[in-house]
Structure 1
Amino acid sequence: MARPDLRLALTLVLSYATAGIGGALTEIGPWYFSLRQPAWKPPDAAFGIVWTTIFTLCAISGWLAWRAADTRALRLRVAVLFGVNAVCNIVWSALYFKLQRPDWALVEVVFLWLSIVALIVGMWRLSRWGSGLLLPYLVWVSIAAMLNLETVRLNGPFV
Structure 2
Amino acid sequence: MDILVFFIFLAACFGAGATGALFPPGEWYESLDKPAWTPPDWVFPVAWTTIYLLIAFAASRVASLDGSAYAMAFWSLQIALNALWTPVFFGLKRLREAIYVLALLWLAVLGATLSHFQLDLWAGLAFIPYLLWVTVAGALNVSVWQRNRSSEA
- Superposed pair shares fold, TM > 0.5: yes
Q: Secondary structure at the match of 1:125?
A: helix
Match of 1:104 in 2: 97
- Structure number with greater Rg is 1
Q: Distance in 2 between matches of 1:9 and 1:75?
A: 18
Task: Choose the corresponding residue for 2:9, options 11, 27, 50.
Answer: 11
Match of 1:120 in 2: 113
Q: Distance in 2 between matches of 1:86 and 1:54?
A: 11
Confirm or deny: 8 A CA contact 1:65 1:130 kept in the other structure.
yes
1:1-159 pair list within 5 angstroms: 4-20=2-18, 22-67=19-64, 69-70=65-66, 74-157=67-150, 158-159=152-153
Return structure 1 stretches of 4+ with deviation > 4 angstroms.
none
Confirm or deny: 8 A CA contact 1:88 1:111 kept in the other structure.
yes
Compute the displacement of 1:31 (Å): 1.0
1:101-151: CA deviation from partner (whole Å, max 9, x where unpaired): 111101221100000000011112211110111000010111111111110
Confirm or deny: 8 A CA contact 1:25 1:97 kept in the other structure.
no
Confirm or deny: 8 A CA contact 2:57 2:123 kept in the other structure.
yes
Q: List gaps (5 residues or longer) in structure 1.
A: none
How many equivalent residue pairs? 152
CA root-mean-square deviation: 1.6
Q: Distance in 2 between matches of 1:132 and 1:49?
A: 19
Report percent identity of matched pairs: 29
Q: Secondary structure at the match of 1:27?
A: coil
Q: Distance in 2 between matches of 1:110 and 1:123?
A: 20
Compute the displacement of 1:57 (Å): 0.4
